[in-house]
Amino acid sequence: MHEVSIMESAVSMAVETARKSGSDRVLAVRLRVGALSGVVPEALRFAFDVVCQGTPAEGASLEMELVPAGGWCPVCQADFQFAVFPGECPRCHEPNGELRHGRELEITSVEIS
């Protein structure tokens, strides 16, 4: 529910990256957003358009890679994907898998002109 401030960070990193590379235009911003990151992708997209206005990122595209909740099962000694979190390992039904993925909230790359 704090998508605007999250997106402000993303856009400011993107604009700063462009500036340092001598570019005045951000063409695309790419994010990784985990299923358990606490933010809503649609709200991020809405915030992106608002936050970009009047910046070198205005008109840029936003690409989001959604990362599902993934765990590691201590019994199977292997990774698995949670059907729901919290949930059990689909192979052995062990309930205490460790959460390994799904909390991501990252800017992976930006494309600049």
Partner 1 sequence: MCKECGCGLGGDVRIGGDAHTHEHEHGHGHGHDHPHEPPPGHGGQTVTLQRSLLEKNDRLAEQNRGFFRAKKLLVLNVVSSPGSGKTTFIRETAAQLAGRLRVGVIVGDLATDNDAARLRAAGIPVVQITTGTVCHLDAEMVARAAGQIDLDHLDVLVIENVGNLVCPADYDLGEDLRVVLLSVTEGEDKPLKYPPLFHSANVAVVTKSDMAAAAGFDRPLALFNLQRASHHARIFELSAKTGEGMQTWLDYLVERHGAGQGRKV
- Residue 11 gets the label, from left (phi > 0), alpha (psi -120 to 50) or beta, of alpha
Is it true that the peptide bond before 86 is cis, omega within 30 degrees of 0?
yes
Nearest distance, CB of residue 17 and partner 1, angstroms = 5
- Residue 44 tokens, joined: 């991020």
> Which residues within the stretch 4-23 sit at the binding site for partner 1 (CB under 8 A)?
4-6, 9-10, 13, 16-17, 20-21, 23
Q: How far is the CB of 54 from partner 1 (least distance, A)?
A: 15
The site for partner 1, by CB under 8 A, has a size of 44
Per-residue string for binding with partner 1, 54-83, x by CB under 8 A?
-------x----------------------
Residue 80's Cβ-count burial label (10 Å; 0-12, 13-18, 19+) is buried
Grouping H, G, I as helix, E, B as strand and the rest as coil, residue 110 is strand
- Map the footprint of partner 1 across residues 30-59, applying CB under 8 A: 31, 36-40, 42-43, 46-47, 50
Count of Cβ atoms closer than 10 Å to residue 83 Cβ = 10
Q: Which two tokens stand for residue 22?
A: 């001598």
- Binding site residues, partner 1, CB under 8 A: 1-6, 9-10, 13, 16-17, 20-21, 23, 25, 27-28, 31, 36-40, 42-43, 46-47, 50, 61, 85-86, 95-96, 99, 103, 105-113
